[in-house]
Chain A
């Protein structure tokens, strides 16, 4: 059995660590390329949303490379994600691939059940260790990621922070004991702090929207890096750690935080609309109050929850006097178009700041 899973930004590091520590043979899909997106788009329903297409492309490439078991998540709606696995399974079966699909529904008991089924030989102790290690990797990645977004905006030599981050990612990936990670985190924090600055005051932009597009750099056309080079400190409102703690583990402090965001959103949207629609609006209100210069709202084209959020955000933007740029991504999103809009937006924010 060779296990594979969908890509979503740095998710592969966490998942690979988790599954291989459980004693499974793991193969991450090849990195996403233009071809991955095209392959996925060719076989997926035309009006399906982008993550379905790209992850389908991941599966096809991984199965071609020899994987035979796909581990993916389920869902309870109303977002389409919860039905991805069923549709993708039918498509892959029709394409004559031989594979098993393991769908993990978002519920701790289900997760445990699936692990027992995948790795029956793993004892409680090794399962615990696998989760601790993967969790530590995820945390470290997210903490360093937050820092990179800040440092990148003011670095003297473009690309310095990213080089440090890539080294950190490689070390995090190689770590085999949970205890190593705090050290790695400290070392690279120090290195990032020492990146030479250009002395400018960065613009602060809050990034809200749908998690897949936000995390997957190939799909969002390296949005964070591009903004960073334009002198923007991007504050990303979603991360894997946050997602897992809020929605999977239902961790109390994280749930309390979610309720705070929902309260902030209440004057504009009084109920969750699935996905992260409510968070997009709540986080916009909060960041406007914290004096952010602008908000970027990203999501896959036709994403149901975010389209609702988009059609409400203009009101939030008006009331709180904060510019919001909504960008929908699909398989046809082109670099030139996105770059032009980012530059125009950053120009606008710089102009506003000078006023």
Chain B
């Protein structure tokens, strides 16, 4: 029998859990097909959605690009990944958004995961997916633990020893910063300008969490909690010479935490820039802003 082809759209939480999901499906005996890197056509396809953030639009494009290539698509509804925390409304409505806006979709595997109140939700999700792929309970759980071990724990590094250059903290959601198309490759552009770039995934979760304790109220969006914690940790340790917060227009949680981070950066006397991207952002203007910011930091540190 031909193995089932499962499509994974390369967008949103793929950048957090993609390796894990790939390993899991492979261990369950499926063939995993990941969509290509983001293209202009994918963004155009996402234009059916109005008022939503850029990463959600390109996610729709990724899903469309998989339509003919996979037997089913994995579009999970990840409501919460930690107790008393949420991801964000778009993740909570993701499978519904996909179904309402794309015609002729293959089957969508849309398991709910909500660890907000019950830790058992993850195990249930694993069993449901395993069941859909014709595997028993033991085999499904074993596949998950194997996948977890394979994906491993990335060892993050923080500190100024990366290079002698000036250090810039580039704070933003993984699905924005790691997507070269929608982030206009900001990270590489900064590196090319001679900057050592520190991104949130390089900061240990625990360190970010400790730094986030200084907030008046815990941020209840998991990923933003990490972003804010990262920024606060970098500011407190004076581990960066400048901080860039990159967000996509209409991202709700970012509009709140960017305000808090800006104030903390100013209080810590670290230059801060808010970079807001949307589909009409022009690359030339974007580059100019990055150059102006890095030039300013260079001048500041020469004095």
Contact = CB atoms under 8 A, between A and B. Distances in A.
Nearest to B215: A86
Main SS at interface, chain B:
mixed
B260 A304 contact: no
Interface residues of A, number: 43
Contacts of A305: 89
Given A86-B260, A272-B92, A305-B89, 11 more contacts: A45-B258, A49-B255, A89-B216, A270-B96, A270-B112, A277-B93, A301-B51, A304-B90, A310-B50, A311-B51, A312-B97
Contact of B217 (A86, A273, A304, A312): A86
B88 interface: yes
Q: Which of A46, A270, A301, A308 has the most C-beta atoms of chain B within 10 angstroms of its own C-beta?
A: A308
10 contacts: A46-B255, A74-B217, A76-B220, A78-B92, A78-B220, A79-B252, A90-B260, A270-B110, A301-B51, A308-B97
Contacts of B276: 47
Contacts of B86: 77-78, 274
B93 A45 contact: no
Contacts of A100: none
Interface of A: 45-49, 74, 76-80, 82-83, 85-87, 89-91, 94, 268-275, 277, 301-305, 307-312, 314-315, 328
A90 B247 CA distance: 21
Given A80-B256, A315-B100, A270 B249 contact: no
Specify which of B77, B79, B112, B256 lies most central, judged by the most chain A CB atoms within 10 Å of its CB: B256
Nearest to A45: B259
B183 interface: no
Interface in B74-89: 77, 79, 84-89
A78 B89 contact: yes
A270 B51 contact: no
Contact of A47 (B79, B112, B216, B250): B250
Contact of A83 (B85, B251, B256): B256
B252 A271 contact: no
A152 to B, nearest CB: 31
Contacts of A303: 252
Contacts of A82: 220
A268 B98 CA distance: 11
A273 B255 contact: no
Contacts of A270: 77, 95-96, 110, 112
Contacts of A307: 50-52, 89, 250
Contact of A45 (B95, B101, B250, B255): B255
Residue with the greatest number of chain B CB neighbours at <10 A, chosen from A45, A47, A270, A328: A47
Contacts of B84: 76
B252 A90 contact: no
A311 to B, nearest CB: 5
Interface string B217-260: 10111000000000000000000000000010111111110111
A310 B51 contact: yes
Contacts of A48: 255-256, 259
A85 B252 CA distance: 15
A303 B250 CA distance: 8
Given A77-B220, A271-B77, A304-B252, A311 B260 contact: no
B49 interface: yes
A273 B92 contact: yes
Nearest to B90: A308
A274 B89 CA distance: 6
A309 B263 CA distance: 33
A273 B263 contact: no
Interface string B95-122: 1110011000000001010000000000
Contacts of A47: 247, 249-251, 254-255, 276
A49 B101 CA distance: 25
A312 B253 contact: no
Nearest to A302: B250
B100 A312 contact: yes
A291 B165 CA distance: 68
Given A80-B255, A83-B219, A304-B90, A269 B263 contact: no
A271 B79 contact: yes
A87 B89 CA distance: 20
Nearest to B224: A83
Contacts of A271: 77, 79, 92-93, 96, 112
A67 B101 CA distance: 49
Contact of A312 (B88, B96, B220, B249): B96
B256 A268 contact: no
Interface in B42-98: 49-52, 77, 79, 84-90, 92-93, 95-97
A311 B88 contact: no
Contact of A311 (B49, B259, B263): B49
